[in-house]
């Protein structure tokens, strides 16, 4: 028997990286998984890699209408929603001095608006059933520490951290059987991190690509296992928390 047997999960940004690892972990433990992404080819490849009962739906997380449509399709197809992983994201390097307004707004629409719509319509769907439900918002260690070269990204990840806590309290106050937690990966071997370390895309003047941390680099599956735990009923008493996945860099001076 799988750890998430009978649960229906939706993962955003499931076409690669952390999202793909999340899908694979959930599918292998018995969940029915809706894989979403703007990258159709990547999303469909994730479905093939994960096996199990997975289906792909195209979703631009910055679009409220697309969120409504995908949630409605999920409920029509599977009859319920138990797990939502708000994972979709992007990163344009830049300091407070170099980031421009369009880049700032792009971070906001994908990270903050995407998480907002996911929470809003995910909670609406989950509140329709009495089963244990879990929302997992992917933040970052940049929400907990200072990183000069990723100002906009860090600001939005910090917002996701606090949105998670307030949503957890709201669900508890409303008597919903819905937990909301945030996870905070450090440096993980994803295309986003690999491109930054290679200096791609071109970095603004004065912004250096990050070097691999001395305490090591994590694998996407390290995050997938945490998502699996929070999605399962094993974590039924874990709510409104910040789960850090970074091999203890958070406590280094």
The model's pTM = 0.90
Q: Which residues are catalytic?
A: 153
Q: Which domains are assigned to the chain?
A: 8-251 (3.40.50.720)
pLDDT of 208 over the 80 cut: no
Which segment of 58-67, 134-143, 178-187, 197-206 scores lowest on mean pLDDT?
Answer: 197-206
- Whether residue 117 is predicted with pLDDT greater than 90 in this model: the reply is yes
> What six digits make up the tokens of 248?
């203890």
Q: Tell me which of 194 and 33 has the higher pLDDT.
A: 33
Q: Which is it for strands 133-138 and 32-37: parallel, antiparallel or unpaired?
A: unpaired
Q: What is residue 210's predicted lDDT score, i.e. its pLDDT?
A: 55
Question: Which residue did the predictor score with more confidence, 207 or 144?
Answer: 144
**What whole-number distance in Å separates Cα of residue 89 and Cα of residue 111?**
6
Listing DSSP states for 17-48 in one string gives: HHHHHHHHHHHHTT-EEEEEES-HHHHHHHHH
Q: In whole angstroms, what is the distance from residue 125 CA to residue 69 CA?
A: 12
Alpha carbons 137 and 168: distance in angstroms, whole number:
11
Query: Is 105's pLDDT higher than 80?
Result: yes
pLDDT at 213 (0 to 100): 58
Mean model confidence pLDDT for the chain: 91
């Amino acid at each position: 028997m799988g750890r998430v047997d009978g649960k229906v999960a939706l993962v955003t940004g499931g076409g690669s990286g952390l999202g793909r690892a999340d899908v694979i972990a959930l599918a292998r433990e018995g969940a029915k998984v809706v894989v979403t992404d703007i990258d159709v080819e990547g999303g469909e490849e994730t479905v093939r890699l994960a096996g199990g009962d997975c289906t792909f739906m195209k979703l631009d997380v910055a679009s409220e209408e697309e969120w409504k449509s995908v949630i409605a399709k999920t409920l029509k197809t599977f009859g319920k929603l138990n797990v939502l992983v708000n994972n979709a994201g992007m990163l344009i390097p830049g300091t407070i001095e170099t980031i421009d307004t369009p880049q700032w707004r792009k971070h906001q629409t994908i990270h903050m608006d995407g998480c907002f719509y996911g929470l809003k319509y995910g909670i609406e769907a989950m509140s329709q059933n009495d089963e244990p439900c879990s929302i997992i918002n992917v933040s970052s260690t940049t929400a907990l520490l200072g990183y000069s070269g990723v100002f906009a990204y860090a600001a939005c990840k910090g917002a996701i951290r606090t949105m998670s806590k307030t949503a957890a309290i709201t669900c508890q106050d409303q008597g919903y059987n819905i937990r909301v937690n945030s996870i905070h990966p450090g440096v993980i071997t994803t295309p986003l991190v690999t491109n930054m370390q290679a200096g791609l895309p071109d970095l603004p003047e004065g912004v250096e690509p990050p070097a691999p941390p001395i305490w090591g680099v994590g694998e996407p599956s390290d995050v997938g296992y945490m998502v699996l735990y929070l999605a399962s009923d094993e974590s039924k008493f874990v709510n409104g928390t910040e789960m850090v996945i970074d091999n203890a860099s958070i406590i280094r001076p």
